[in-house]
Amino acid sequence: MRALRILLIFVVVLGGLFVIADRLAVNFAEDEVADRLKSAENLSSTPDVSINGFPFLTQVVGGSLDDVEVGIENYEAAAGDGGRTIRIDDLQADMKGVEFSGDYSSATAATATGTATIAYDELLKTAKVEPTQIAPGVTANVVGLSDGGNGKIKVAVEATVLGTKLPEPVAVLSTVTVVDGTVRVKADGLPKFAGVNLAENRVRTITDFQQKIDGLPGDIELDKVQAAPDGVEISVKGSDVRLAG
């Protein structure tokens, strides 16, 4: 019985040491992945990286990690031609089946899903905020974006008719979609300014706008989008997503 107790104590101690070693290893690996991702994506701050699953060391031996979560704050994504960027807040991505090279210089996830947010003031930079003539004696411009409820964006349009600025901006409910990596905002109905009927194509030059977004980490892509209280919420997805290398 004494020998059995000693054996059990030894097993418990050994198991505890393995858990400690496993957690130290995973913490080191998370820091390494975060540093490599920061360098590869030219990030201004180090991202949050969490490697899930236990034990970690047996995953390393197998050359594949089950689940890696990545969080990036204030990511500057490419916004089409001209070198412009658009700030994406709180980009969260969940990577599945992450395989890495023998020297750990590169890692690729089989699939990735995630979420991100574009603040309304950031998306507003895409709209026509300078007064634009849409008919003789009528100019208009977008002065604000906000949550319109039920997944819609409320676009506030200010107008001047025959030299007189309307006392209040006209609110336009709009649908937001993603098409080929482009966020598109389209008015559900056309507003009237001081009862003036205007050509639809001229009004839509103000109410409707779009923003191309590409160059996301690991070449993940926009999937779905909808309006929310703090901005436009985006779902992202991808396959064969590069974490590093």
**Alpha-helix residue ranges (DSSP H) falling in the chain:** 2-41, 56-62, 120-123, 200-207
CA distance 149 to 226: 10
- Burial class (CB within 10 angstroms; exposed 0-12, middle 13-18, buried 19+) of 69: middle
Does residue 190 register a pLDDT over 50? yes
Mean pLDDT of 213-242: 87
pTM value is 0.81
Residue 131 has pLDDT above 60, yes or no: yes
The pLDDT value given to residue 4:
44
pLDDT range class, residue 30, cuts 50, 70, 90: confident
Per-residue confidence (pLDDT) for residue 14, from 0 to 100: 46
**Residues of the chain above pLDDT 70, percent:** 86
Q: Give the range with max mean pLDDT: 22-26, 162-166, 233-237.
A: 233-237
DSSP assignment, residue 45?
A: S
Average pLDDT score over residue span 209-220: 84
Tokens (6 digits) for 228:
């929310």
pLDDT over threshold 70, residue 20: no
Distances (CA, A) of 36 to 33, 45, 125: 5, 12, 31
